[in-house]
Amino acid sequence: MHLERTSAIALHQQIAAHMRNGILRGIFPAGTQFLGSREIARELGCSRTVVLTAWELLYAEGYLESTPRGGVTVASVNQTQAGAGLAIPTSIDQVLAAPDAGHMSRRWQSLLAFEYDTNWKSEFSPGAPDISSFPFKEWARLLRQTWQNPKNVECLDLPAAGHSALRQEIANFLGSVRGLVCTPNEVVVTSGTSSALDLISRMILDPGDEVWVEEPGFVEARWALTAAGAKLVPIPVDDKGLCVSEGIRRAPNARLIVVTPSHQYPLGVSMGLERRLELLDWANKNNVWIVEDDYNSEFRHQDSMIASLRSLDREQRVIYLGTFSKIIMPSLRLGYVVAPERFVDAFTKGRARIDVHSSGIGQLALAEFMREGHLLRHLRRMRKVYAIRQKALMDAITALMPDDLSVSPAATGLHLVAFFTERLKARMSDEEAARALKRAGIHVQPLSQNYLEQATRQGLVFGYGRLNAEDAARLIAKIAGCLGCQPGR
């Protein structure tokens, strides 16, 4: 078993994934007895707690069971299926059809072994927007209109940086909605934030380069960085955002910093001005690049808008990322980078070398959609819808689980974190809670899934983009029942 210490995947998850894989492939048949946790920890060079946490996960999923003498053995497949509530193969064909990660690079083996449930269909998915109010009629009209008599450029010769009309509209949009001043020449169209992070990581980093990532943080960003061979250094986040001084202490030679300063993912805090200036100052003095993932800022009202890090940047340090995944829908796969001039040409050329450019199908229609004002209207409508949904969720949690979950309003966006109180923490971990809820058909992300190291806080990440306000109380009551939480009990 090989552990990737610089990977985006926590060590206990890596151990669990290796063991799970071995069990499903029959390498460890039912009844196999494992060494003691101390011996395994010594062999792998990790702490015993890491091994015990991996075992706990596999016990809960039904892969392991304990022997009367306190040992650990592999459970039989039938028991596994009964206890797991997970997508476990039910036939040998399914086992054989599982991706054979063995032929992949070590980095990709560890990425593929990681089980991560994005649960887009859940009412509580943290990233999913509401699509029922999207003006599909206008969108379909514009798609038809823009493709009725397309020009050569749209069919044969789309620039790698994106359609010029869309780059112009993105620059206008950022000026009016985000107060961010940029020219269309500084905009590069991408296939969303994930693709932007992939491009930037590949182009800026050499394998082994250190990168500060927020702890807890955005898991998809870690994947792109890991795939590029980066060494991830988790930097804690407190109520003022990323702890810059801690970053300097832990990784003074970092090459890149990835942050969500306006609405930290997942905690939702915004980075104070002093920290922002400290971060920019240190990055400038040490020639470190900063990636600002500004997801969800568009949902803020003008009166609570926080200036982006990029607008404080006087020395072209910040590479700004935006996406249409939340304000329109993720399947559109369109987003953008606003880059310092010195990077624009390189990113454009780099994009052309990797996969030419983002799909042109939606680019011109989106430019028209923005030019005609539909996007701004949709955004204004959705701000109100999401505010109502957030309030319904907060009210339900406060009324029905006051002694077990603690919530405060999120300033923007589509999710909030409900932290475990000491009372709930004493009874279960957030991963145990999420597993119990999953068995009851409710998918909520455990906060600890977003940590690279041992989670320091426990909680549940509730998305409310797709949550009908009328359903909030019923669903939270079901969650309270499932977790055995009753007020005052």
CA distance 39 to 51: 10
Shortest reach from residue 263's CB to ligand PLP, in Å: 8
CA distance 439 to 431: 12
Q: Residue 111: which residues within 8 A CB-CB, separation 6 or more?
A: 7, 8, 9, 223, 226, 227
Shortest reach from residue 193's CB to ligand PLP, in Å: 4
Choice between 199 and 251, CB closer to ligand PLP? 199
Choice between 295 and 369, CB closer to ligand PLP? 295
CA distance 360 to 364: 7
> Facing residues of 51 across strands?
none
361 φ, ψ (degrees, to nearest 5):
-50, -50
Choice between 194 and 448, CB closer to ligand PLP? 194
Q: Residue 12: which residues within 8 A CB-CB, separation 6 or more?
A: 50, 51, 53, 54, 57
DSSP state of 10: -
Shortest reach from residue 332's CB to ligand PLP, in Å: 9
CA distance 409 to 417: 9
How is residue 477 written in tokens?
Answer: 């009551």
Choice between 62 and 330, CB closer to ligand PLP? 330
> H/E/C letters for each residue in 59-126?
HHHCCEEECCCCCEEECCHHHHHHHHCCCCCCCHHHHHHCCCHHHCCHHHHHHHHCCCCCCCCCCCCC
Q: Where along the sequence are the contacts to ligand PLP (CB under 6 A)?
A: 127, 192-194, 218, 260, 265, 293, 295, 323, 325, 330, 335
Choice between 53 and 325, CB closer to ligand PLP? 325
Choice between 62 and 162, CB closer to ligand PLP? 162
Choice between 335 and 362, CB closer to ligand PLP? 335
Shortest reach from residue 197's CB to ligand PLP, in Å: 8
Shortest reach from residue 326's CB to ligand PLP, in Å: 7
Choice between 122 and 260, CB closer to ligand PLP? 260
The DSSP string of 209-224 is -EEEEEES--HHHHHH
How is residue 449 written in tokens?
Answer: 């899934």
Shortest reach from residue 220's CB to ligand PLP, in Å: 6
Shortest reach from residue 117's CB to ligand PLP, in Å: 13
How is residue 185 written in tokens?
Answer: 């020449």
Shortest reach from residue 292's CB to ligand PLP, in Å: 11
Choice between 14 and 323, CB closer to ligand PLP? 323
Selection from 292, 51, 32, 66 nearest residue 180 by Cα:
292
Shortest reach from residue 302's CB to ligand PLP, in Å: 22
